[in-house]
A and B are shown apart, each in its own frame.
Chain A
């Protein structure tokens, strides 16, 4: 059996030394222990050299977008395998190994910089519609009020993991008036407001994500950050990010109205049946919120 890297994977795991509920982990599996592992960091890139190993997996770029890691690049070199970890934030790392078959080299990355951006910030998450207001109905049998509530619950989990304070406008199937939603936004004074919807179109062929925002600059920046994060992670068709007047949110609150997919399209409806898809979508929205808050804090000179 030759000395080869057979698999690479990314995941989120608890890692007590970093004092975060979860850390980003890159797991590199090989047939035997590498003769040496050299790791160095240059800004937002961590480069891992696994010396004495060949590459059995393909040379490729692996998209991650877990909020901290954007993507990995895997390359074979004469002296070993090189894995470049491209990060959203510069951070600490620790390397640990787990002997066995396969031998596992784990690179733990501290998500504290990510949490520093959002920790303690209130995020108002508004799953649209509810009760007798079903919203858009899909061509088979999904209804907007239920799928956006499910996505909101995943988003709440992801925001909690980052240390934010998510507040949901509803947690069950009930109708809340526009005035009540606005009043909650005024009362909680959130750092961001994310209103979740699905789109509809006259053509059943229309697919993809559309993000609307009130005309204020802060809302535009939030909407653009979330829209870009969804496109990066989900690879959905782009129905554009655009200003929309008449959205019922307070002027001073950075707010965005996301139509996560177009529910009148059969394929988009089918994607929303998958819990994995909904969780990934919520993760993408959380990534966009982090990006926006980071930009906003940098603009204020906070970080």
Chain B
């Protein structure tokens, strides 16, 4: 029984919202046991207060210098975003990442900066990287995604994952809370989630669908999950 994505339009979620309550209010009339709720990592970060206005950040000189090197439309391309990266992983890891990126450019390997400095930095949405009103913010990746997934699962009673999905077909499951215990079963569930989200049903533009309910089709209707 495959998982079929149903994008759920929500209000504009802000740092005042509790992500578990947001999930409950938009899922409780639709979700059934066996379904999986996929939550966008950006909205989790926003509810954690990790959306920062660039004017609230005072970039150090190195941040002003290093932000000139990423692609012009990539993340960490503004001084404020690079400064937040320094604060997130520390100066040492940033400079190690810079050295790896420089070596990567010489040898034709891309993405070495994030591999060395920290994959969490790849989750940063720089200015204009997400929908209004947060397109004026830098949104850092979420903290403790597995823990958040577990908290939401306790409230809504179905499996929950925190995901980073883009229009190039890349699906990254950052955190997963499931009642499955067998590692093989969890790996299979992850694979199912990745397959269901490959077309990016939640969108990356201004769709306002940070929740995607993955319905398990072909099973009999059962009472609501919560």
Interface mask (B53-78 → A, CB under 8 Å = 1, otherwise 0): 01100000000000110001100011
Find the B residue at minimum CB distance from A1: B30
With a cutoff of 8 Å between Cβ atoms, the chain B residues found around residue A140 in the complex are 67-68, 77-79
The yes or no answer to B187 lying at the interface (CB within 8 A) is no
- Write the nearest CB–CB distance from A267 to chain B, whole angstroms: 6
Tally of chain B residues near chain A (CB < 8 A): 36
Q: In the assembly, what is the distance between CA of A8 and CA of B136, in Å?
A: 24
User: Does any Cβ of A come within 8 Å of B127's Cβ?
Assistant: yes
B215 touches A101 (CB 8 A): yes
Which residues in A have their C-beta under 8 angstroms from that of B126? 270, 273
A276 touches B30 (CB 8 A): no
Chain B 110-140, CB-CB to A under 8 Å as 1, else 0, gives 0000000000000000111100100110000
The smallest beta-carbon distance between A239 and chain B, in angstroms, is: 17
B11 at the interface (CB under 8 A from A): yes
State whether B55 touches A7 (Cβ < 8 A): no
User: Is B30 a contact partner of A266 (Cβ separation < 8 A)?
Assistant: no
Q: Which interface residue of B72, B80, B126, B209 has the most chain A CB atoms within 10 A?
A: B72
- Is the Cβ of B30 less than 8 Å from the Cβ of A6? yes
List residues of chain A with CB within 8 A of the CB of B209: 7
Between-chain CB contacts (< 8 Å), 28 pairs: A1-B221, A2-B29, A6-B8, A6-B9, A9-B207, A54-B29, A57-B9, A57-B10, A58-B9, A60-B11, A101-B4, A101-B6, A140-B67, A140-B79, A141-B72, A142-B72, A266-B78, A266-B80, A270-B54, A271-B128, A273-B72, A273-B73, A273-B126, A274-B73, A274-B128, A274-B129, A275-B73, A276-B128
Residues of chain B having any CB pair with chain A under 8 Å: 4, 6-11, 26, 29-30, 32, 54-55, 67-68, 72-73, 77-80, 126-129, 132, 135-136, 203, 205, 207, 209, 213, 215, 217, 221
Partner-B contacts on A (CB < 8 A): 1-2, 4, 6-9, 29, 31, 54, 56-58, 60, 101-102, 140-142, 235, 266-267, 269-271, 273-277
